[in-house]
A and B are shown apart, each in its own frame.
Chain A
């Protein structure tokens, strides 16, 4: 930030923002037709049959990273956004593409306006106490 009132002509390093505007990775799409807004805790898993996502020319490097990150360890949408350093909205669109291409599937959290089973809640309480 320039404090001397001069117009700021140059942005350096991180100040200049990302080299690629984030939504360029989604080709400008901010939502995905096939996907209801994915919850931040929806979990993404790579389909076991997916061998080499890099060979797929239709996938961007970010798509490929998601496929690889979720291969052995399921990850939530929020975790993917943090790890890829991308906005949540961008990750949702990219995951939607991968679901369409049957490269990953998504497990949905408990539907809104419903509480999980009482037995799950008891497990949560016991689990917290045992931490």
Chain B
């Protein structure tokens, strides 16, 4: 993190770090969304599937390196020297859900990005956050040329609970993405006020 060189002998400030997840189907604009507000070009981090207990050393039948890793893109927003928000794009494929559990632990909340042309791509993510009781909102990414539907129709099609906010957004637009993120934090605060202790994640 770019916090400037500290004075000699003075340890650098220890920042509080928070994370918000950005979920949704493949190609819905997760990395674009992260890149629109991140102060760094979204970085890629990978995890080997060996974490899930797959055999490590047998390379026979492995067709390419890509099939053995899960990639996540993430960005960073330094809000203050001692307060840093990270945005993590969740791995798109459902078979990588073991990574979601790890990412979701301790997350402030989540954005589920939706493309109305492929609404069903986000069902899994909506389901996931509902079941884990993680505060989330739905951001409908309004691609150029994507047919616009009334918000109420989208809400009904997703069978969203009334308390889940739904916003129209443009993942390429910084102001729009900021608004969505503020929405996530506000939603998390409202929920925390209503229910003082968030129940532990059950698996």
Contact = CB atoms under 8 A, between A and B. Distances in A.
- Interface of chain B, main secondary structure: mixed
A72 interface: yes
Given A15-B65, A22-B48, A40-B45, A111 B106 contact: yes
B93 interface: no
B18 A112 contact: no
A120 B83 contact: yes
Interface string B27-70: 00000000001000001111110110000110000001100010
Nearest to B53: A30
B43 to A, nearest CB: 4
Contacts of B46: 81, 87-88
Contacts of A15: 64-65
B157 interface: no
A43 B15 contact: yes
A91 B65 CA distance: 19
B43 A45 contact: no
A109 B17 contact: yes
Interface of B: 1-3, 5-6, 9, 11-19, 37, 43-48, 50-51, 56-57, 64-65, 69, 72, 74, 76-77, 79-80, 83-86, 88, 102-103, 105-106, 108, 174, 178, 181-182, 185-186, 188-189, 192, 197-201
Given A74-B12, A82-B44, 4 more contacts: A23-B56, A78-B45, A82-B74, A128-B182
